[in-house]
A = this chain, B = another copy of it.
């Protein structure tokens, strides 16, 4: 199984590549240019002491991957996915890790999306046969990218296909100390994305960069 990262050269892509690569997954870092993808892959391999991570243009990455993480910023996600649609095929799963937040002039704002969540918006772009799952939304990229910090928390997984959710939860179980929690339908992204906003606000109030969630009692 190959995991692809759409927008794999950013902060979120780096965190996913490092955690998934360290867990032994085959990762293809995608970028709009092959050169940037190859450069990022080389950096990640160096950090991991591996040669497991490859770089590719986004179209080539999508053609090679079974599960593709959409790791571009929220306001570029729809365009980025539309640009790679020709390379998609039935049976693939896209994982939306974006959150509808804007950061400007020192403040963070939650963006009200007509479809009620970034995940539900992105789902409208994908063709039939390609499933969308939301995951990693409420996990801080800062913590994800710091391999020295045990994650030690949960990640909420939502999507309208239970089979697709289960595939993504299987990938998440590869990462030590991270537990996938099945949050049901894609509409659960409405609360999960707001939990990210809450985590950002808690980070500011408590002077942290690492606020994240664990669910007890289940």
Interface size on A, as a range, is 20 to 34
A45 within 8 A of B: no
The interface stretch among A33-41, A47-55, A69-77, A187-195 is: A187-195
Which residues does chain B contribute within 8 Å of A201, judged by CB atoms?
A: 183-184, 188
Which residues does chain B contribute within 8 Å of A199, judged by CB atoms?
A: 215
The interface stretch among A60-68, A125-133, A205-213 is: A205-213
CB distance from A82 to the nearest CB of B (A): 29
Tell me whether B183 and A202 are in contact (CB under 8 A): yes
Which residues does chain B contribute within 8 Å of A213, judged by CB atoms?
A: 213-216
Q: 0/1 per residue, A143-167, Cβ < 8 Å to B?
A: 1000000001100100000000000
A92 within 8 A of B: no
A86 within 8 A of B: no
Which residues does chain B contribute within 8 Å of A198, judged by CB atoms?
A: 156, 183, 188, 191-192
A residues contacting B by CB (< 8 A) are 140, 143, 152-153, 156, 181-184, 188, 190-192, 194-195, 197-199, 201-203, 205-206, 208-218
The 3 closest A-B CB pairs, nearest first, are A210-B217, A191-B194, A206-B218
17 contacts between A and B (CB under 8 A): A140-B217, A153-B216, A183-B201, A183-B202, A184-B201, A184-B205, A194-B194, A202-B218, A203-B217, A205-B218, A206-B218, A208-B217, A210-B218, A211-B218, A213-B214, A213-B216, A214-B215
